Every structure is written in C-alpha cells, then in structure tokens.
C-alpha cells in the first residue's frame, strides 16, 4: 500500500493529463463540498431555531378557559368560567404524570397606559402572578437577587422580580434595584430580583424582558382576583408524552367545571412538545434531503472517477501487458488501480471536506463577530461523526469506482494487452 | 525444458477461423540456443507467445520443465512467467515513467523483494550490461541498443530458465544487433535456454539450432549451421 513504486505509478498516471485529473477530482471535491456546506447550513438553521427555545421545557402544555360551545347539565352554551385555586391541588392529586405545575395570572401592560411607577419614572409592563415552578418551565437568568419562592406565596409578600427592560426604564444604569420599591398598579412592591430571558423566541403573555413577576397569591389578593387562575402551565414527567398529560388535564378540568366532556372549545391549550417535535421532524426531513442530494452529487463525482479510471486503464493497456508479462499477478494490477481510484477520490473529497468546514468556520466567525443576534442561523457546523461518515463513504465509493476499470484491466489476455497499440 | 506435442492454435475473427499452428512438435533441451525463422505470418510470434504462457493453445500438450501448461489461472501463469521466463521484445517495452534501474528491478517487485534489495540487484545486472552510468536515466533518454540491453537485464533479474526474444534485433542496426547477440550468447553459456525469433540469416546463424516455420508447421531444422535436417 505505501510502496514507493505504487505511488510512482499513481502519480505518473495522474500527472500525464493534469487538466483531466483536475476536472475529475473536482467532481468529487464539489460533491463533498456541497454536502458539507449544506449539512452545516442545515445544522445552523436547526441550531438557530432550537436555541430560540433555549431552556424552555419542550414537554410543556399550556391551558386556558374559553366560552363553552355545548350546553351541559342545564348550563347554557357560551358560558364563561374560570380556573380556580382548587384546580391546582386537584391536578397535582389526580394526575401523577405532571412534573411541574405553574398556574399563572396576568394583568396590565396591554391597554397602553403606564401601570408601573417609580418616582418620576414610569412604564407599561406585563404583570404576572406566578409560582416558583414557572422558572422550571420557561427559565430566566436572575442575574441580580433571586426568583420567587414558596415563602413569598404563602405569606402573600409584596415582592417583585423584574425583567431587564423594566430595570432599564425604572432605574438608572448601575443603580441597585434590590430592596427598592416600585408601584405596580397602585400597590408598592419590593424588588427582590432582576432577570433576563434565556430565550427570546418563545413568549407567553408579552415580551419577557418587559415583564414583572409577583407571587400569584399576592396578585389575587391585591388586584381582587379572588381565587381565579388565568392559565396553567405544566410539564409531563420524563417518559410521558405531554399530550397524555394534556388529555388527562382537560378531562379533569372539564369535569370540575361542568363542561361537556366532548366540548371541543371550552379549554384552549397549546402543546409545546407537539410543536417542538414537528420542528425537529422538519429538520430531520431537511437533513435527510440534504444527504440524498449530497450523496447524489457525490455519486456523480465518483462515476466521473470511475470513467476516468477506465480511460487511464485503456491508455495503459500495453504497460499493464508488459507488467503482466514480467510477472505481475492480476491482484497486483487490480489493487494498483483501486488504490489509484481510492487515492483520487479520498484526496479530492478530503479537500472538499476541509474547504467546506473552513467556509462554515468563516461564516460562523463572521456571524459571531458581527454581533448580530441572528435568530434563524446559529453555529453552522458538521460534527466529527458526519465528517468520518463522509470519509468512509468516499473510500468505499473510490474502491467501487476502481473496481470496474480494474476488472477490465485484467479481463484481457496478457498477449492482447501487449499487442495493444 | 520445453516440450510441445501436436500444438494447434486458431484465431477466430468474426466468422473467419484462421488456423495458425497446425500441429507443432518441438523439443528444446535446457541450455539450447534456438532461433525460429519463417516468412511473415507463418506463426512464429504465436508459437513464442504460447511458450511464454502469454497465450493459450487449442489442442496438444505443452510441458515447461515437465509441468503441463494448460488452463492454469492467470495468477498461476503470472507466477510461472515470473519464475521461469524472461521476455525480450522487439520494441523493448520498458515502462516509461521508471528509470533504467527501476525497470530492471520490476520483476523482483512482483516477488515482493524490498526496494533497496531489488535496486541493488538491478545495479549488478546493469553493470554486467555496461550501463551502470545510465541507471538513473529514463527510457526516452536512451538509445535502442541501450534500451534492449536494459530489457535483457530485466529479463535476467528473476533468474529465469528460459529467455524468449521476439525479433530482439529487429529495431537495431547491424553493429548494435551483434552486440546484443553477443550478450545473449554469453547468457546462454551460463546455461540459460534462449529462443529467439528473427528474420535475419546472420542473426540466426549465431544460434545453435535454427527452426524454419512454414504455414504453421515446422518445415526444417538446421543444427549449428550444418545441412538442413528435413523432418
Ligand atoms: N490476435 C490475433 N487475432 C487474429 N489473428 C491473429 C492474431 N495474432 C496473429 N494473427 C494472425 O496469425 C497469423 C500468424 O501471426 P504471427 O504473429 O504468429 O506471425 P509471425 O510469424 O510472427 O509474423 P511476423 O514475422 O510478421 O511477425 C497471422 O496471419 C496473423 O494475422
Ligand atoms: Mg511476429
């Protein structure tokens, strides 16, 4: 394999017609190059979209009430109703598949009026009544202070965790917010934490950066919501599909609120897992397509190699005849030609791989150094396994490309090869 | 060394069948120096190629060193050629991208002799041919006589029992032809059987036995320049 004579032969064969060798190699180069760049871009797209999800629990479901559409138990259709505090315990008790449960109430911010005031500064923000579990479903980074806890809830403390844009509006840069008081819809709250979102792509109930989280219990009391819950967010335990929990929760909540079991409208819901799976399914589809197209391009290149090897073998018929006359066994000839073909294919493919990865690296560099927080495209790259797979495919296809010419070279009688002009 | 009994060979081209060898009986003993003569198309090359296991025959028996040569695999044939036979061609047939030394060494490559060793042996043979200064030269930088001597060195390096030469002097001038024949004679004196095909009477008269072919049959034989032995 690593015999000098063998390489001498390979090089002399390839050098004889440099332009032809170049164009042949270019076919494979292009195939691999395209495959790498397309796969990398596909990954970039996937990374971009998936990073939008950030740490968002993808096995989560959201549920809210809507007017009923079917009269039931003497109650009319189009009846309005609300989830209640009791539902929290009922959900936890009767649906063990629920892992985290975060009820939420939401107010303010939508009507445009400034609802939050601190001294001379004021702004319009979403105000959320929350459970600490919320931070396990759509996590934020509390970079100063802390998130809400159960003591806040139990004692109905007037504490608030504010988003970074809220901080920007109400506080001077560098000012310490923790311990300061802000007036939210007429009530004073003490700031205990400042957060920024981990993902910008998923928002429920307004821009997170412009939101204020206060304890749900406090929210209900100070804004006179009684025991009304705005909506539920929950996640399924690992191993249980979110849709199972979704169905169980709907059945339970319908029963508890005298809603017809077959009412399709009375409970609105959003299943993040379904969306997420659809998305990842889409990307799997895209990358499958890329492989098919890429392998196709590569195959075209490999067929080119096979073709050119046939030409080389034909050109060298007499030489091969001489070699056989002085003792070259068929295997010597076959392995020589296959080595040549594998060499040409792998070399060209490797160059394609390196340049492709280089281009992806460059794009990556430009993306990250331009500082543009691109949502759609992030970290385009191919992983090591893909590169190895591509190389293995190259070696194999190089060998296959060499097989037909090699067989042709030894299929002719030595004497006919010698006589060949 | 070589024993041919009733060898027949036809070429089939399209619908035509050309009967080239029509029952050749020939026995060549080890150490003989034989030339084959005959008009163009009489089947000389065909015969030599069969002896060299480059081509097959239709009927008859061919024994090389008491081994029946028939229907062997190409791998086996290549091994036999490498072990028993050295070829010298009219058109030299050197490999163009290998220098003189590498050309001479090539048969040993197929015996898996390592590069260093086979190049050393090749140099010894080149020296014998008086060509050691030309070892690094490529074939296209050499004269016909030099090329033929390199080809002879290449034929000798695997220590064959038989050298087969199809018109070895056909492309050379008279002086060079005689030099080449002198080398072959010396090789023969070391005990190697030599068979050459030639058109030239003076060349054939340098051999010990002349075989005349006509229309695919042995017409006559002359021993050592004496009277024809009519078969
Ligand atoms: N591969 C082949 N296919 C068909 N016919 C062939 C083939 N090789 C040789 N012949 C024919 O067989 C006959 C003998 O050919 P051969 O080469 O043995 O002649 P030769 O005696 O060597 O002639 P020359 O002195 O011209 O070299 C010729 O008529 C030739 O045309
Ligand atoms: Mg001839």
R_g of chain B, CA atoms, integer Å? 18
DSSP string, B2-59: EEEEEEEEEEEETTEEEEEEEEEEEEE-TT-EEEEEE-TTSSHHHHHHHHTTSS--SE
Closest-CA residue, ligand 1 atom 22, reads B45
Which chain A residue shows the shortest CA-CA distance from B81?
A327
Asked if the Cβ–Cβ distance from B75 to A331 is below 8 Å, we say yes
Indicate the top mutation candidate among A317, A417, A419, A420 to test ligand 1's pocket, ranked by most ligand atoms within 8 A of CB. Answer: A419
In angstroms, the Cα distances linking A383 to A44, A46, A234 are 12, 13, 34
Q: How far is A21 from chain B (nearest CA, A)?
A: 17
Which chain B residue shows the shortest CA-CA distance from A12?
B97
Q: Does domain B31-56+73-230 have CATH number 1.10.510.10?
A: no
Q: How far is B75 from chain A (nearest CA, A)?
A: 5
Q: Which two three-digit tokens encode residue A193? A: 């934490």
Neighbouring-strand partners of residue A63: A232, A269
| Residue A2: predicted pLDDT | 59
Domain ranges of chain B: 31-56+73-230
The DSSP 8-state label assigned to residue A315 in this structure reads H
Closest-CA residue, ligand 1 atom 7, reads B11
Q: Which residues of A touch B109 (CB under 8 A)?
A: 5
- Strand, helix or coil at B225? coil
**Backbone phi and psi for residue A155, each to the nearest 5 degrees, phi listed first:** -95, 5
* Distance from C-alpha of A247 to C-alpha of A236, rounded to nearest angstrom: 12
| Residue A112: predicted pLDDT | 56
* Distance from C-alpha of A418 to C-alpha of B183, rounded to nearest angstrom: 25
CB-based contact A174:A205 (threshold 8 Å): no
Reported confidence tier of residue B143, pLDDT bands at 50, 70, 90: very high
* pLDDT tens by residue, A254-297: 999 999 999 888 999 999 888 888 888 888 888 889 889 888 88
What is the predicted ipTM? 0.90
Stretches where chain A sits below pLDDT 50 are 1
Q: Which residues of B touch A327 (CB under 8 A)?
A: 78-79, 81-83, 107, 110-111, 158
The pLDDT mean for chain B works out to 91
Which of B44, B53, B78 is the best mutation test for A, with the most CBs of A within 10 A? Answer: B78
Calculated CA dihedral for residues A361, A363, A366, A372, nearest 10 degrees: -120
- Examine the pLDDT at B27 and tell me if it is beyond 90: yes
Question: For tokens 């009277």, what's the residue?
Answer: B227
Taking the CA of B42 as reference, the closest ligand is 1
Neighbouring-strand partners of residue A182: A189
Q: Give me ligand 1 centre to Cα B10, in Å.
A: 10
| Residue B155: predicted pLDDT | 94
Lining residues, ligand 1, CB within 6 Å: B 11, 13, 18, 20, 38, 40-46
* Distance from C-alpha of B122 to C-alpha of B142, rounded to nearest angstrom: 17
* pLDDT tens by residue, B153-199: 999 999 999 999 999 998 899 999 999 999 999 999 999 999 999 99
Question: For tokens 């028939």, what's the residue?
Answer: B70
User: Which of B42, B48, B79 is closest to B193 using CA atoms?
Assistant: B48
- Strand, helix or coil at A72? strand
Asked if the Cβ–Cβ distance from B49 to A12 is below 8 Å, we say no
Asked if the Cβ–Cβ distance from B74 to A330 is below 8 Å, we say yes
Taking the CA of B40 as reference, the closest ligand is 1
The b/e string for B179-216 (b: 16+ C-beta within 10 A; e otherwise) is: bbbebbeebbeeebbbbbbbebeebbebbbbbbbbeeb
Q: How far is A345 from chain B (nearest CA, A)?
A: 23
* Distance from C-alpha of A40 to C-alpha of A48, rounded to nearest angstrom: 12
Q: Which residue pairs, CB below 8 angstroms and at least 24 apart, start in A332-335?
A: A332/B78, A332/B110, A333/A406, A333/A409, A333/A410, A334/A406, A334/A407, A334/A409, A334/A410, A335/A406
In angstroms, the Cα distances linking B200 to B35, B164, B174, B196 are 10, 17, 10, 11
Question: For tokens 């033929």, what's the residue?
Answer: B148
Strand pairing of B33-38 and B209-214?
parallel
* Distance from C-alpha of A301 to C-alpha of A27, rounded to nearest angstrom: 4
- Strand, helix or coil at A403? helix
Q: What strands, in cross-sheet order, belong to the sheet with B2-13?
A: B16-28, B2-13, B59-64, B67-68
| Residue B175: predicted pLDDT | 92
Q: Which residues of A touch B155 (CB under 8 A)?
A: 326
Taking the CA of B199 as reference, the closest ligand is 1
Asked if the Cβ–Cβ distance from A331 to B74 is below 8 Å, we say no
| Residue A204: predicted pLDDT | 65
Q: How far is B18 from chain A (nearest CA, A)?
A: 17
| Residue B231: predicted pLDDT | 47
The b/e string for B105-131 (b: 16+ C-beta within 10 A; e otherwise) is: bbbbbbeebeeeebbebbbebbebbeb
* Distance from C-alpha of B87 to C-alpha of B194, rounded to nearest angstrom: 10
User: What is chain A's percent helix, strand, coil content, to nearest 5?
Assistant: 55, 20, 30
Q: Which residues of B touch A415 (CB under 8 A)?
A: 49, 54-55
């Amino acid at each position: 394999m690593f015999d000098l004579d063998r390489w001498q032969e390979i090089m002399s064969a390839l050098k004889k017609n440099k332009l032809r060798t170049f164009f042949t190699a270019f076919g494979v180069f292009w195939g691999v190059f395209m495959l790498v760049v397309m796969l990398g871009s596909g990954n970039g797209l996937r990374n971009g979209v998936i990073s939008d999800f950030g740490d968002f629990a993808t096995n989560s479901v959201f549920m809210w009430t809507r007017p009923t559409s079917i009269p039931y138990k003497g109650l009319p259709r189009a009846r309005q109703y609300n989830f209640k505090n009791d539902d929290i315990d009922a959900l936890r008790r009767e649906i063990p598949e629920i892992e985290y449960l975060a009820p939420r109430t939401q107010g303010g911010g939508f009507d445009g009026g400034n609802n939050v005031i601190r001294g001379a500064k004021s702004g319009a923000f979403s105000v959320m009544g929350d459970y600490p579990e919320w931070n396990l479903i759509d996590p934020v980074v509390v970079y100063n202070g802390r998130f809400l806890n159960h003591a806040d809830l139990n004692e109905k403390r007037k504490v608030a965790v504010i988003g970074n844009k809220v901080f920007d509006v109400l506080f001077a840069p560098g000012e310490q917010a923790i311990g300061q008081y802000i007036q939210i819809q007429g009530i004073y709250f003490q700031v205990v934490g400042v957060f920024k979102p981990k993902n910008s792509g998923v928002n429920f109930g307004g821009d997170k950066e412009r939101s204020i989280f206060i304890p749900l219990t406090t929210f209900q009391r100070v804004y006179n919501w009684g025991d009304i819950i705005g909506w539920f967010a929950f996640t399924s335990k690992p191993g249980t599909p979110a849709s199972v929990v979704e169905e169980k929760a709907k059945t339970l909540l319908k029963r508890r609120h005298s809603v017809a079991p077959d009412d399709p409208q009375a409970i609105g819901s959003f299943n993040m897992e379904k969306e997420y799976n659809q998305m990842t399914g889409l990307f799997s589809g895209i990358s499958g397509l890329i492989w098919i197209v890429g392998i196709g391009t590569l195959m075209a290149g490999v067929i080119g190699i096979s073709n050119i090897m046939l030409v080389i073998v034909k050109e060298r018929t007499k030489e091969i005849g001489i070699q056989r006359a002085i003792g070259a066994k068929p295997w010597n000839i076959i392995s020589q030609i296959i080595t040549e073909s594998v060499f040409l294919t792998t070399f060209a493919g490797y160059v394609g791989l390196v340049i492709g990865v280089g281009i992806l690296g460059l794009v990556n560099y430009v993306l990250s150094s331009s500082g543009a927080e691109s949502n759609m495209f992030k970290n385009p790259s191919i992983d090591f396994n893909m590169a190895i797979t591509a190389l293995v495919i190259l070696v194999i296809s190089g060998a296959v490309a060499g097989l037909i010419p090699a067989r042709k070279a030894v299929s002719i009688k030595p004497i006919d090869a010698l006589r060949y002009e | 060394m070589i024993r041919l009994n009733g060898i027949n060979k036809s070429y089939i081209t399209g619908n035509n069948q050309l009967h080239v060898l029509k029952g050749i009986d020939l026995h060549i003993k080890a150490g003989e120096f034989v030339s084959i003569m005959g008009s163009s198309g009489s089947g000389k090359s065909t015969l030599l190629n069969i002896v060299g296991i480059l081509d097959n025959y239709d009927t008859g028996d061919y024994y090389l060193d008491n081994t029946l040569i028939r229907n062997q695999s190409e791998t086996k044939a290549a091994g036999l050629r490498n072990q028993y036979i050295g070829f010298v061609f009219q058109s030299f047939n050197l490999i163009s991208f290998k220098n003189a030394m590498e050309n001479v060494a090539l048969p040993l490559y197929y015996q898996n002799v390592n590069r260093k060793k086979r190049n050393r042996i090749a140099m010894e043979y080149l020296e014998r041919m008086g060509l050691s200064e030309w070892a690094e030269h490529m074939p296209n930088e050499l004269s016909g006589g030099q090329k033929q001597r390199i080809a002879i060195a290449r034929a000798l390096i695997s220590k064959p029992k038989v050298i087969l030469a199809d018109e070895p002097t056909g492309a050379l001038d008279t002086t060079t032809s005689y030099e080449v024949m002198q080398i072959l004679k010396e090789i023969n004196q070391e005990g190697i059987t030599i068979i050459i095909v030639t058109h030239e009477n003076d060349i054939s008269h340098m051999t010990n036995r002349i075989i005349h072919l006509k229309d695919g049959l042995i017409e006559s034989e002359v021993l050592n320049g004496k009277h024809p032995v009519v078969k």
